[in-house]
Amino acid sequence: MVKLELNKIINFFENKFSIFFLIFVICFNFFSCSQEKDFNAQLKGNTMGTYYVIEVVNVPKKLKIKKIEKEVQSTLKKANKILSNWDKKSEISIINKMNKTTPIKISDELNEVFKTANNINIKSNGFFDVTLDPIIELWGFGYKSQQIQIVPTEQQIINTLSMVGQRSLLNINYENNILKKNDENLKINLSSIGKGFGIDLIGRKFDELGIRNYLINIGGDILTKGHNKKKENWVIGIENPNLKEKLIKEIVNLTNKGLATSGDYKNFFTNNGKRYSHIINPKTGKPIMHSTKSVTVIHDNSMKADGWATAFLALGSLEGLRIANKEKIAVLFIDEIDNKLVKFKSSAFKNLK
């Protein structure tokens, strides 16, 4: 009798142990599977005088977030070391210091930026110009310390414009990565296109790492790839140029495209009641005075969107729409007419899905 009861007790504990072991195995397997699942993450920081926010979706578990953060920081550092006018030791700053007209060897990355800049310069009829640096400095919008923002004289503008002209003053042999200044005092400013290229470099790095779904946002310039967390296209809100209203003026759904917005409503100064924007008309050497307040461009990548946004804002909606339709570029112009904001869309922008 005692032996029978003992056997029952042993069987009871054996069954309990079996159940516990089974639960342990199930939990362990579930935990292991969950650890192997792709993950989503957001990275934030500061760069290029502004902020960045990066969303990555369905990232392979083998990629650690620290690895991604390290690659982003490394890529941003690389972009600045090539393109930044604020970094005195960057490639472009060193070229600006070279007061000579002999050939200068440039990196593959800088060569690519100049190739895109040249294309936009030609198609925009010169309203995008990377040799605007002397005029930008003259108006106090440049990278030199202790900028004084005053209205220059007509003679100062005329004299300084003699140092501007991308097509006539800058020669580049794209095949051999050779840059040549036609004037030894020529200075180059890449702030109108550099941020976009930096974003594209991060996108390329993500592609190499196997990250297929992401949104990279640096100061409002964006590159999208794949889908968001809802497995849909990325939803982007376009800012209202009237910052007092704090409203989104337009919403677009994007994937595998770059987006950039350029406006005259943030960086400006006022003199004798008149407002002067940091966007300079390369033809007159003066800040733009037309009714266009902001331009948003959607293009194949962020660099092209960035450069074209500047070009179209310098052009204004009237001439800008004509060129946008001719080149089949998706552009949204927002003009201020009779104290009201009015939207003008290119055909390609209207056809966005």
- Tell me: pLDDT of 311 over 50: yes
Most confident of 34-43, 168-177, 237-246: 168-177
Q: How far apart are CA 43 and CA 59, in angstroms?
A: 13
Q: Model confidence over 10-40: pLDDT tens digits?
A: 344 344 434 333 333 333 333 333 345 789 9
Distance between CA atoms of residues 68 and 56, nearest Å: 10
Give the count of alpha carbons within 13 A of 101, CB side only: 6
pLDDT score recorded for residue 36: 58
Which comes out higher in pLDDT, residue 216 or 24?
A: 216
Q: Write down the CATH number for the domain with range 233-353.
A: 3.10.520.10
pLDDT value of position 269:
84
DSSP track, 42-105: EEEEEETTEEEEEEEEEE-TTS-HHHHHHHHHHHHHHHHHHH-SS-TTSHHHHHHH----S-EE
Note the pLDDT of residue 142.
84
| pLDDT exceeds 90 at position 181 | yes
H-run or E-run covering 281: strand 280-281
Q: What are phi and psi of 226, to 5 degrees?
A: 65, -135
Mean pLDDT of the chain: 88
Distance CA(113)–CA(58), nearest Å, equals 31
Residue 233 in this model has a pLDDT that exceeds 60: yes
Q: What is the pLDDT of residue 25?
A: 36
Q: Which CATH number fits domain 91-181: 1.10.3720.10, 1.10.3980.10, 3.30.450.20, 1.10.150.310?
A: 1.10.3980.10
pLDDT digits (tens, 9 = 90+) for 128-140: 999 999 999 999 9
Is residue 59 within 8 Å of residue 39, measured between CB atoms?
yes
Average pLDDT of the residues in 67-94: 96
Backbone angles phi, psi at 53, to 5 degrees: -135, 125
The structural domains of the chain, with segments of one domain joined by +, span 91-181, 233-353
> Three-class SS of residue 186?
coil
The arithmetic mean of pLDDT across residues 87-103, rounded, is 95
Within 10 Å of residue 129's Cβ, how many Cβ atoms?
28
Is the pLDDT reported for residue 3 higher than 60? no
